[in-house]
Amino acid sequence: AILVTLKTEAARVVRVNVTIPEDVLSEIDRYAERHGYSRSGFLTAAAKQAMRNEAA
């Protein structure tokens, strides 16, 4: 038996504008940098985690 990886179509990336207090944005940026995320990557991961937690 062999494993064959399937190509999945990448989700379309959409630019959004959000309003976040400056101090919170600074915290987000520091956290993201320490953990190897971009700001967008961190916010995406955090949103997905919050939605998973609610579904549980």
Ranges of each domain in the chain: 22-55
CB contact burial 5-42 (16+ within 10 A = b; e otherwise): eeeeeeeeeeeeeeeeeeeeeeebeeebeeeebeeeeb
The mean per-residue pLDDT over the stretch 5-11 comes to 76
> Is the pLDDT confidence value at 5 over 80?
no
Of 21, 10, 17, 22, the closest CA to residue 40 belongs to: 17
Coil/strand/helix, residue 12: coil
Taking only the tens place, the pLDDT of each residue in 9-55 is 778 999 999 999 999 999 999 999 999 999 999 999 999 999 999 98
Confidence (pLDDT) at 24 = 98
Q: Is the pLDDT of residue 1 over 80?
A: no
Its pTM stands at: 0.75
Instruction: Quote the distance between the C-alpha of residue 36 and its chain's center.
Output: 12
